[in-house]
Amino acid sequence: MNLKDIAQELVAGCREDRAKENLDKLYAANAVSVEAVDASGTMGREAHGVDAIRGKHEWWESAHDVSGATVSDPFLHGEDRFAVIFEVQGTVKESGDSFDMREVAIYHVADGKIIREEFFY
């Protein structure tokens, strides 16, 4: 897959609730995911490897009820990066606090796979 195909499939997967299914398809086995902060308080800012990234997805789903979300079309940058803007509304399950979040994600691609993702919020 080329950069545009990867970016479009990532966005489609997020919009169609297939983000976890796309991990093995789009991500390198040793991909790294970097958050702006340790939101869980236990996992740290970085997840190394597709299994750890899958764990982040599982934590998010178990800790939050999402009531609305939008995903922008991808913004391509050169031949090895793209960005996506996510907007999510929901509730933290444990506290019942509502949230309205907006973040930019930068994805780095090499050899037809995502090798690094970075979230800014």
Say if residues 118 and 105 touch (Cβ distance below 8 Å). Answer: yes
Q: What pLDDT does 44 receive?
A: 82
Per DSSP, what are the bridge partners of residue 101? Answer: 88
CA 105 – CA 108 distance, rounded (Å): 10
Alpha-carbon gap, residue 120 to 104, rounded angstroms = 5
User: For residues 44 and 74, is the Cβ–Cβ distance under 8 A?
Assistant: no
How far, in Å, CA of 32 to CA of 28, rounded? 9
What is the per-residue pLDDT across 56-86, written as a single tens digit (0 to 9) for each?
Answer: 999 999 999 999 999 999 999 999 999 999 9
pTM of the complete model: 0.93
The per-residue pLDDT for 108 is 98
pLDDT in tens, 26-51: 999 999 999 998 876 677 899 999 99
Q: Which of 7, 1, 4 is nearest to 107 (CA)?
A: 7
Residue type, 29: A
**Which residues, other chains included, contact 72 with Cβ-Cβ below 8 Å and sequence gap of 6+?**
11, 84, 85, 86
* Residues 82, 76 contacting (CB under 8 angstroms): yes
Question: Three-class SS of residue 57?
Answer: helix
Q: Which domains does the chain have, with CATH numbers?
A: 3-120 (3.10.450.50)
